[in-house]
Homo-oligomer: A and B are copies of this chain.
Amino acid sequence: MEGQHVPRGYLFSVAAAGIRYQGRSDMALIHSEREATVAATFTTNRVKAAPVICDMKRVRSGKGRTIVVNSGNANACTGDRGLRDAEAICREVAVRLDVPERSVLIASTGVIGTPLPMERVMRGVDGLIRSLGKAGPWDVARAMMTTDSFPKVVSRRGGSGATEFTVTGIAKGAGMISPEMATMLCFILTDLAVGRTVLKAALAEAVAKTFNLTTVDGEMSTNDTVIAMANGAAGNRPPAGGSPLLRRLKAMLLEVTDELSRMIARDGEGATRLLIVKVRGARSQRDARRAALSVAESPLVKTAVHGGDPNWGRIMAALGHSGAALREHSVEIAINGVKVVKAGLGTEREREASEAMAGEEVVIDIDLKRGGYSERVYSCDLTEEYVRINARYRT
């Protein structure tokens, strides 16, 4: 896995600043050797962390070079001091790398409400600058981890015509994952040259289809950030709308964000199973989405999935609760390919379905038979371990 392609023209480093965790890296730097096009999406939570507020201004230019990230402390609910701290970090990075301050972006994840230990952070920044180029995407992914149990990196290499390029996504997830992007950070790097408007639209589309349809606990974080950088090291001319190269980029972006979404759901706090909820036959896209989310977020469905129980009654209740148009007597439900509900009634194939649920992946297929719209949501089971992790996160 760690031997995947890396886009050209990016340097990486990590440092162990001891912000909260000991004996591991907790800061990372991603630096493009040349100015890159930048696009980003952020949490829609009204309480936004300092790094999010800081970045929202900076990405307006559509240009950037560097991302500095830390784990262990979210720098959220830290008021003016938090904002000053975030800006001071960016400034220090900019000065040391001799790039404009506005070209540095920042992301943080971890505990809310505690100011950053700036002395340690600044020593960390020093370490990042000194070791730039000595790490790779996997090291960055490891430095970003909080309650994640594994680092998340996905790369795709592809091309169109004479242009070969790579898209690499580096993410962290785990808890507080919810539509509209929850405590997740994701940095997507490509060496393709892409115009600002095109990159922004392609990112928005990929996020809408993947991260925003991924849920662990319905929570939405104050820090969610997805940043895409395109530095043009591939030497291509920026692709025009509708060109084969742009289509290729979009497809690769979607593959990378889709695979990262699956990894984030699978690594939901305490999760033992990936849950994929597919709804089709909905009367509208909105209905498909809310029906799928209602099932994917239901604690009763998620605990049943944990217990390997094909409890379709809970799925029916969650569908009825979703607000989506449905007729009870036309609903069909299959779990891992075993049809457990036909015409709204149980088929008495629960033993078979239970056996089919033995693996690490549970797919719930729902057909509402009311129209032509479909949606798919990634989620995970709800376990005792989720409660243990979150009852003891700080104490």
Contacts and interface: CB of A to CB of B under 8 A. Distances in A.
Contacts of A47: 316-317, 319-321, 326, 328
9 contacts: A45-B317, A45-B320, A47-B328, A79-B343, A112-B313, A113-B313, A221-B317, A307-B392, A308-B395
A5 B323 CA distance: 41
Given A309-B394, A387-B386, A77 B328 contact: yes
Interface in A128-147: none
Main secondary structure of the interface of A (DSSP, over half): loop
Nearest to A46: B320
Interface stretch (A95-103, A227-235, A295-303): A295-303
Interface of A: 45-48, 74, 76-79, 111-114, 175-176, 178, 217-222, 298-300, 303-304, 306-309, 311-314, 316-321, 323, 326, 328-329, 341, 343-346, 354, 382-384, 386-388, 390-395
A391 to B, nearest CB: 3
Contacts of A308: 395
Nearest to A354: B395
Nearest to A392: B307
4 closest Cβ pairs, A-B complex: A112-B313, A47-B320, A307-B391, A303-B390
Given A45-B317, A219-B321, A387-B387, A346 B309 contact: no
A214 to B, nearest CB: 16
B392 A77 contact: no
